[in-house]
Amino acid sequence: MENMKQDSWAQWLLQGRFSTDSQEQQEKTMKQLLYPIRDTLLSLAAIREGDTVLDIGCGDGLIAFGALEKIGKSGKVIFSDISSALLEHCQTLAHSRQVLEHCEFLNASAEDLSALADNTVTVVTLRSVLLYVQDKQRVFAEIYRVLRPKGRVVMFEPITNFDTLGNLSSSDRFWGYDVTPVKSIAQKVQAIFNAIEPWGTGTATNFDERNMFTFAQEAGFTIIKASYFMEFSSHLAKLSWEQFLRFQLDPRLPTIQEAMQQALTASECEQFSTHLRPLVESGQGVYRGSWLYLLAVK
């Protein structure tokens, strides 16, 4: 699809986010990382037969297709995304699964759901959406507006300002690996990412779990429940050097290889690679991360 070629979100989500060559390995990663999140969100949503479910930032349809299994013959799922290519992908899947009659597709940002009328949706779901959005309070306001009375929103968000894997401002860690001996070189590479997504002020790191709770309160929700999780690991998964170089945390950012090429001379690149490659291939890094599940009722 020509549209797919021009859509960085679709390319990243469907092809590049796990940085693997193997389709089998990608499916395994999906099952390990994303299916548990989907199942938890759907359980919190308590979707019933006849519900109208809005999945904001539907992506490849992970949550939305799970919701379709719960709405029965009279329900509806609205796939919403800023990427028209991803919506086309979901529409094709819906057609192949013979569920199109229960689907709608909305090309919209999370901050502007003006195509939907007030009080028309029973359940709203989001997975890893707010970290890409500047006006997070606006998102909550729009969700509140489209929800029916007693309607509910469930969401999962990484709290990335706690995350060492993507902490590009660290002076001694690059993606979790100790780069103290090549600190000055690492900082040049980090600067490429920081120029696009500044640590602490960019959309991915300018909020935490307390902000999320406050956003929901200020939007007017009457019941709010949140579960916050933190995780630490003293090692990272072993990656090939090629996989690491192709890693792209976010479609708005370059790959690690692209950032190195932009920031470093040939000599610096060789020095940086010589230090970092053994650490990557042996998994000698640390990971610290956190995430939040939130349920709010109108």
**Paired tokens of 53:** 């479910």
3-state secondary structure of 289: strand
pLDDT at position 26 is 60
Query: One digit per residue, pLDDT tens: the chain, 298 residues?
Result: 334 344 888 887 776 555 555 555 666 666 678 899 999 999 999 999 999 999 999 999 999 999 999 999 999 999 999 999 999 999 999 999 999 999 999 999 999 999 999 999 999 999 999 999 999 999 999 999 999 999 999 999 999 877 665 554 555 889 899 999 999 999 999 899 989 988 888 899 899 999 999 999 999 999 999 999 999 999 888 989 998 998 888 888 899 999 999 999 999 999 999 999 999 999 999 888 899 999 999 9
Specify the pLDDT at position 28: 66
- Look at domain 1-158 and name its CATH class: alpha beta
Write down the pLDDT at residue 12. 78
Q: Is-above-0.75 flag for pTM?
A: yes
d(C-alpha 184, C-alpha 191), whole Å: 11
How high is the pLDDT of residue 276? 97
Instruction: Write the CB contacts of 264 (distance below 8 Å, at least 6 apart in sequence).
Output: 185, 188, 189, 272
Expressed in percent and rounded to 5, the helix, strand and coil fractions of the chain are 45, 20, 35
Cβ-based neighbour number of residue 214 at 10 Å = 15
- pLDDT number for residue 139: 98
223, with CB counted inside 10 A (0-12, 13-18, 19+), is: exposed
Residues 292 and 257: their CA atoms lie apart, in Å, by: 31
Domain ranges of the chain: 1-158, 161-205+234-288
**Distance between CA atoms of residues 51 and 48, nearest Å:** 6
